[in-house]
């Protein structure tokens, strides 16, 4: 989750290749995709999507990554 929050695509790829859960959640039920969207990390969001991240995942505030994503993410 931290790698997504900072947009560290290389670390994310390594973790995902080693079997990290792409849809793991934090204490607020936010996924790595939520954090990538909030941080405006387009490449991180693209990588997470490739590995099966759910755009429909809901956090504690009932927000999906789509609702948190800036407009340029809608092209993913």
Helix (H) or strand (E) holding 68: helix 65-68
**What's the predicted TM-score (pTM) here?**
0.91
Whether the per-residue pLDDT at 44 is higher than 90: the answer is: yes
Domain 2-75 CATH assignment equals 1.25.40.20: yes
Helix (H) or strand (E) holding 37: helix 32-38
Q: In the structure encoding, which two tokens stand for residue 10, read together?
A: 């290389």
Instruction: Give me the pLDDT at residue 21, please.
Output: 98
Whether the per-residue pLDDT at 76 is higher than 70: the answer is: no
Domain chopping of the chain, boundaries: 2-75
Whether the per-residue pLDDT at 74 is higher than 80: the answer is: no
Residues whose CB falls within 8 Å of the CB of residue 15, separated by 6 or more in sequence, listed in order: 3
| Residue owning tokens 């387009």 | 42
Report the distance separating Cα 36 and Cα 45, nearest Å: 6
């Amino acid at each position: 989750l931290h790698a997504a929050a900072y947009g560290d695509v290389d670390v994310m790829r390594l973790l995902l290749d080693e079997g990290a859960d792409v849809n793991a959640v934090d204490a607020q039920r936010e996924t790595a995709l939520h954090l990538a969207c909030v941080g405006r990390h387009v490449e991180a969001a693209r990588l997470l999507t490739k590995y099966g991240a759910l755009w429909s995942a809901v956090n504690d505030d009932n927000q999906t990554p789509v609702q948190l994503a800036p407009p340029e993410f809608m092209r993913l």
